[in-house]
Structure 1
Amino acid sequence: MDIDHVSHANLAPSPRLFKAGAPLTGRIRVPGDKSISHRSLMFGALASGETRVRGLLEGEDVMATGRALTAMGAHITTRATAEGEEYLVRGTGVGALMQPETALDMGNSGTSTRLLMGLVASHAITATFIGDASLSKRPMGRVIDPLTLMGAEFTATPGAKGAQTLPLTMRGAYPAVPIEYRLPVASAQVKSAVLLAGLNTPGITRVIEPVATRDHTERMLTGFGAELEVEEVDGERIISIRGEAELIAQDITVPGDPSSAAFFVVAALLVEGSDLIIENVGLNPTRAALFTVLRQMGGSIEELGRREIGGEPVADLRVRHSQLTGVEVDPALAPAMIDEFPVLFVAASLAKGRTVTTGLEELRVKESDRLNAMAEALTSAGATIEEREDGLIITGTGGEPLRGTANSHVTTHLDHRIAMSMAVAGLASKDGVDIDDISPIATSFPNFMALLEQAQEADTAE
């Protein structure tokens, strides 16, 4: 896929009915990890030399990152290899990003927006960030606050409840001011934005993390040669980065995205007769808590050939249909599975007994209000849901299929994870689940439909 391809974000809605079918069997490989894909392009764009990236996720969100980096001076090309498409990123060097000539269109990607704001913050350039209708509702104040302390200046659009939203124009500061910043909420995006700003800031920039979040930024920056230290003090993580860094180009193999694998893991657990192997799944401990919770519920998820690739733990997952039992999910696990809760809600809807989730206020400011959206969607499909301010309480069917949505559409709110989660619900329903629009799935998982068909066809082919 060319980095300059046309976005699909504005295409007409594409409704689809998902219904029960064949078990999921055989072997599939999900696309590359989205978090690592974003960062491999960004760090490659700041490195000296040419970074080679294999297994990059070619979804809309990652392409938005690539186009923005190209607009600021990086050179990104692709070439075909025996192992698949390889991305070549020739960087500008830290501190050498160029003034973009037009606004940077982030599409639906909050990760692109917040991390790139961090990159720009310590460069003497001005950039305007725009996005689609969904992204333009998402709050940016949590990133604006620390970057303002470092010297960047912002003009943002007033959003609901006083939130600062896109379109947004920021003027970077050079030299920026190093800060010590304690995260008020558990957010890998905010942490990463501050660390990326610190790359081109004289002195030491520190982020204090009361609750650990995904650590891809720390792992990858260290791999690229940044001087970065992580300490644990009184249960908190203190991440320090020395500015005016020099990053060195790397060869990167992106592991399979655990957030993408999650949909197939849950589908295989729920659909009777399923026995599916998902290859090359990244199992970074700050990302893989969903699999822990599903095992607590009785799910059969076996790790095969556990190994390490580029500093990231990886394994093949064998998943077999299982009778699940409701659990009370430890809120301390939330940061390590925040994107996976929508599909966990689906699993809980078919479990035996109650599943209780708390501490999930963050889900209300994702691509949609995912707590409300999933509560409404699953209720419309026949699940028993109680929505609370910070989570859902779900009383499962005990393994019986959901009723389905009959003649009504599930509203996805342009949210790819709502669409894929409810597609999985449709596979475990009597009448099927009719989804209003599957086109947002392309933002993170462009071959979701093809892999689903492959997994179901493997059973019929045997």
Structure 2
Amino acid sequence: MSHHAPAQPLTVSARGALRGRITVPGDKSISHRSLMLSALAVGESRIEGLLEGEDVLATAAAMRAMGATIERDADGVWRVHGVGVGGLLQPAQALDMGNSGTSTRLLMGLVASHPITATFVGDASLSGRPMGRVIEPLARMGADVTASPGGKLPLMLRGISPAVPITYTLPVASAQVKSAILLAGLNTPGITRVIEPVPTRDHSERMLAGFGAALSVEDTAEGKVIAIRGEAELRPQAIVVPGDPSSAAFWLVAASVVPGSDIVVGNVGLNPTRTGLITALRMMGADITEEDARIVGGEPVADLRVRHAPLRAIEVPADLAPSMIDEYPVLFVAAAFAEGRTVARGAHELRVKESDRIATMAAALGACGVAVEEHEDGMTVTGSGGEAIPGGATIASKLDHRIAMSMTVAALHARRPVTIDDAAPVATSYPTFFASLDALTGGAPA
């Protein structure tokens, strides 16, 4: 998994209106967590709608390596026989995380409070990403981490049991750091607390409570205090994973900017910590309606109908950043077609994603004839007022799946075809993306 196949360049041309109904792959955040917690429950859990991308499969492989039995039925339902909290086994070889930062950070938390040693390795992109923000609180709990220079992969983590419960205030808004500490707290005697000054996605809290962990969430003057009582007994669950709002994002923008479009994206998770992009697009005038709103497994879900609408530039509220951090690249694409100058700030986190998403998107949009101004923490984009953008460029996606998909969306309303230098990384999060594009546009370009 950790060596890159030859690049797969892809040229995308405008294809006219998007029409029809699709579903998107299961939510990546929920897919990772459902495998991990099922592997710590005693008995068999069933998972429907699991995202079968490379990142989630890396989590499945790691949980198998630590003793869980994980099988996929012919009908796509996954069955997991867990080992119980405290029951993780010493893996026989290094855990290959591929490109998955989520797998790495959350699994470090799980291992930290078990008496085992695990070595984490990843591909070139993941090996450049900083892990210090997770290492620091886990070391306070007693884990011993030997990382590569700069707190990077490969790293070796020696867990400890019993670990020490801590109260930890998050220095940066990060659901992954929060989740790593809570997962470490599962097998730690006493109460482990995370204080969150800025709210981040809460999938871990919802799912831990669903599996039966003793967890409380309290709003205080310092922020949200999430407390978990350790030495938990998790009960097996039947989980239906909702569609990933980060994957739906590409279609919300595509249908908004391509004239004549009218689509329905079914079964999209609408957890309020994940809907920042929908909020921002509606502020810009997007026509997005929720149909058949429902609750599935503790998570709000609806079908989203999106019709083409003229977009207006906005100043993106900085407080939306945590709930749309992965959607900024495609928001920049929406801004490229809006009327006026859209200013998006407060997104420093984009500099340390799979690529530097601010610099990479600024270069990509600029190459396609869009006027952009890069800021340390975001971007100002001058839109086309709904007209097609010039296009005609070859884009460096920097092995980043979200850049590749975002620029595919931009190409759907460009005057000249746009070439993505490597479309292969899209498989990490959305293996059926290009098939869905064909379904909505009646096949390949005319």
TM-score interval for Structure 1 and Structure 2 normalised by the shorter chain: over 0.9
Do 2:438 and 2:444's aligned partners in 1 also have CA atoms closer than 8 Å? no
Q: How does 1:216-365 map to 2 (within 5 A)?
A: 216-234=203-221, 236-365=223-352
TM-aligned CA distance change 1:458 to 1:317, over 3 Å: farther
SS in 1 for 2:411: helix
Alignment counterpart, residue 46 of structure 1, candidates 18, 40, 48: 40
Asked if residue 169 in structure 1 is aligned to residue 156 in structure 2, the reply is yes
Asked if residue 423 in structure 1 is aligned to residue 403 in structure 2, the reply is no
SS in 2 for 1:80: coil
Structure 2 distance, partners of 1:395, 1:452, is: 26
Alignment counterpart, residue 21 of structure 1, candidates 15, 18, 25: 15
Q: Which residue of 2 aligns with 1:152?
A: 143
Structure 1 distance, partners of 2:12, 2:331, is: 18
Asked if residue 382 in structure 1 is aligned to residue 369 in structure 2, the reply is yes
Asked if residue 61 in structure 1 is aligned to residue 46 in structure 2, the reply is no
Do 1:24 and 1:459's aligned partners in 2 also have CA atoms closer than 8 Å? no
SS in 1 for 2:199: coil
Do 1:23 and 1:459's aligned partners in 2 also have CA atoms closer than 8 Å? no
Deviation at 1:402, TM superposition (A): 1.1
Do 1:328 and 1:355's aligned partners in 2 also have CA atoms closer than 8 Å? yes
Q: How does 1:105-116 map to 2 (within 5 A)?
A: 105-116=96-107
Structure 2 distance, partners of 1:298, 1:289, is: 14
AA paired with 2:418?
V
Deviation at 1:458, TM superposition (A): 8.1
Q: Which residue of 2 aligns with 1:143?
A: 134
Structure 1 distance, partners of 2:180, 2:14, is: 42
Deviation at 1:80, TM superposition (A): 2.7
Alignment counterpart, residue 35 of structure 1, candidates 17, 29, 33: 29
Deviation at 1:260, TM superposition (A): 0.2
Q: Which residue of 1 aligns with 2:383?
A: 396
Structure 2 distance, partners of 1:140, 1:268, is: 37
Asked if residue 128 in structure 1 is aligned to residue 119 in structure 2, the reply is yes
Q: Which residue of 2 aligns with 1:12?
A: 6
Q: Which residue of 2 aligns with 1:454?
A: 439
Structure 1 distance, partners of 2:306, 2:74, is: 32
Structure 2 distance, partners of 1:276, 1:133, is: 37
Structure 1 distance, partners of 2:192, 2:443, is: 51
Deviation at 1:459, TM superposition (A): 12
Deviation at 1:433, TM superposition (A): 1.3
Q: How does 1:428-439 map to 2 (within 5 A)?
A: 428-439=413-424
Do 1:299 and 1:323's aligned partners in 2 also have CA atoms closer than 8 Å? yes
Structure 1 distance, partners of 2:142, 2:262, is: 54
SS in 1 for 2:74: strand
AA paired with 1:145?
E
Do 2:262 and 2:305's aligned partners in 1 also have CA atoms closer than 8 Å? yes
SS in 2 for 1:42: helix
Do 2:22 and 2:265's aligned partners in 1 also have CA atoms closer than 8 Å? yes
Do 1:304 and 1:318's aligned partners in 2 also have CA atoms closer than 8 Å? yes
AA paired with 1:119?
L
Deviation at 1:115, TM superposition (A): 0.2
4+ runs deviating over 4 angstroms: none
TM-score (normalised: structure 2):
0.98
Do 2:2 and 2:124's aligned partners in 1 also have CA atoms closer than 8 Å? no
Give per-residue Cα distances to partners, 1:25-76, cap 9 Å, x unaligned: 1100001000000000000000011010000000000000000110000100
Structure 1 distance, partners of 2:348, 2:335, is: 19
Deviation at 1:10, TM superposition (A): 2.1
Do 1:24 and 1:458's aligned partners in 2 also have CA atoms closer than 8 Å? no
Alignment counterpart, residue 186 of structure 1, candidates 173, 181, 192: 173
Structure 2 distance, partners of 1:25, 1:459, is: 14
Q: Which residue of 2 aligns with 1:73?
A: 67
AA paired with 1:290?
L
SS in 2 for 1:64: helix
Q: Which residue of 2 aligns with 1:413?
A: 398
TM-aligned CA distance change 1:104 to 1:13, over 3 Å: same
Give per-residue Cα distances to partners, 1:278-303, cap 9 Å, x unaligned: 00000000001100110000000010
Q: Which residue of 1 aligns with 2:90?
A: 99
Structure 1 distance, partners of 2:317, 2:55, is: 30
Deviation at 1:235, TM superposition (A): 6.3
AA paired with 2:304?
L
Structure 2 distance, partners of 1:260, 1:8, is: 23
AA paired with 1:451?
S
Count, aligned residues: 445
SS in 1 for 2:201: coil
SS in 2 for 1:45: helix
Structure 2 alignment gaps of length 5 or more: none
Deviation at 1:23, TM superposition (A): 1.0
Do 1:150 and 1:176's aligned partners in 2 also have CA atoms closer than 8 Å? yes
Alignment counterpart, residue 194 of structure 2, candidates 207, 211, 228: 207
Q: Which residue of 1 aligns with 2:185?
A: 198
Do 1:38 and 1:112's aligned partners in 2 also have CA atoms closer than 8 Å? yes
Give per-residue Cα distances to partners, 1:159-201, cap 9 Å, x unaligned: xxxx311011110011100000000000000000000000000
Structure 1 distance, partners of 2:191, 2:81, is: 27
What is the aligned-residue identity percentage? 63
Structure 2 distance, partners of 1:204, 1:322, is: 50
Q: Which residue of 2 aligns with 1:4?
A: none
TM-aligned CA distance change 1:459 to 1:382, over 3 Å: closer
- Indicate the RMSD between aligned Cα atoms, in angstroms: 1.2
Give per-residue Cα distances to partners, 1:283-333, cap 9 Å, x unaligned: 000001100110000000010011110110000000011110010111111
Do 1:403 and 1:429's aligned partners in 2 also have CA atoms closer than 8 Å? yes
SS in 2 for 1:229: strand
Deviation at 1:207, TM superposition (A): 0.1
Is 7-16 or 236-245 further displaced after alignment?
Answer: 7-16
Q: Which residue of 2 aligns with 1:3?
A: none
